[in-house]
Amino acid sequence: MERRGGPGRKLLQAARLRRFRDEYVARYGEAVYEMKLGDCRWHGYAMIGKLTRRAYVLSR
C-alpha cells in the first residue's frame, strides 16, 4: 500500500512525522515539519471526503 502511492502513503507519513516529531524538527526545522504534516493531512482529509480536489479561478 505504501509503495503504490496515494493517500494511504500520506497517512503513514503523517503517523511517522507525529511519532518522530523532535527528530524531524531538529533536522529540517519547524516550518518544514509543519508544511509536510499539513500536506499529509490534506491528502487524508481529501481521501475521506472532507475536502474536494478542486480549484476555482476568479476572473472579471
pLDDT digits (tens, 9 = 90+) for 21-38: 999 999 999 999 999 999
pLDDT digits (tens, 9 = 90+) for 34-53: 999 999 998 888 888 888 77
- 11 vs 19: CA distance, rounded Å: 12
* 1 within some domain: no
Total number of domains constituting the chain? 1
* 53 within some domain: no
* 56 within some domain: no
Query: Which pTM does this prediction carry?
Result: 0.71
The helix-helix angle for 30-48 and 21-28 (nearest 10°) equals 130
- 19 vs 56: CA distance, rounded Å: 35
Q: Are the C-beta atoms of 18 and 37 separated by less than 8 Å? A: yes
Model confidence at 18, in pLDDT bands (50, 70, 90)?
A: very high
Residue 39, domain extent: 7-48
Structure confidence at residue 2 (pLDDT): 52
* 55 within some domain: no
* 60 within some domain: no
* 43 within some domain: yes
